[in-house]
Amino acid sequence: MKVEFVNPFITSLKNVVGTMAMIELEVQKPKRKKNEVSFGDVSGIIGMVGPQVKGSMAITFDRDLAFNIMKNMLGDAATTIDEEVRDMVGEMTNMICGGAKNALSEQGYQFEMAVPVIISGANHCIQHKVDGPKIIITFASDLGKAYLEICFDR
């Protein structure tokens, strides 16, 4: 997978969380591992299909970051991963993938997004089923962590 595919997702995630929740995330070095999995408390997953592109994106938040995003967006700190938190994660998944879609479209890569799916459950694990490598990127901050996993089959 080429770096020009990954960078728009990284930029979009930083932009969305920065703009919506005023939280500055520090991007750690992308890891390319076959058996690495990401763990978190609430995740959004979305599929992508296009003529040259077939893949999926998962964004996983730990509780701390999810609660802090809610607090900064709405003024109320969440105390459980409830309907409101799941809605926020679904919305962010759409926005992050949509931002990357626009950037990639300008580079000549077109794809359509499927419907976001939200997963909640303490310390669940996400794994893409794909023959090639997957890219996992950790986003760190004092307010919690997020993990972005992207893979493309072609």
The binding site for its own copies (CB under 8 A) comprises 35, 43-49, 54-56, 58, 83, 86-87, 90-91, 93-94, 111-130, 151-153
Count CB atoms within 10 A of the CB of residue 131: 7
Nearer to its own copies, 74 or 125 (CB): 125
Nearer to its own copies, 73 or 117 (CB): 117
- Tell me how far, at minimum, the Cβ of 53 lies from its own copies, in Å: 10
Nearer to its own copies, 25 or 88 (CB): 88
- Tell me how far, at minimum, the Cβ of 142 lies from its own copies, in Å: 26
At 114, the amino acid letter reads A
CA distance linking residue 89 with residue 41, whole number of Å: 11
CA 20, 117, 39, 29: dihedral to nearest 10 degrees?
-50
- Tell me how far, at minimum, the Cβ of 79 lies from its own copies, in Å: 17
CA distance linking residue 37 with residue 39, whole number of Å: 7
Phi-psi region of 108 (alpha: psi -120 to 50; beta: other; left: phi over 0): left
- Tell me how far, at minimum, the Cβ of 136 lies from its own copies, in Å: 13
Pair 42, 85: CB distance under 8 Å: yes
Nearer to its own copies, 20 or 130 (CB): 130
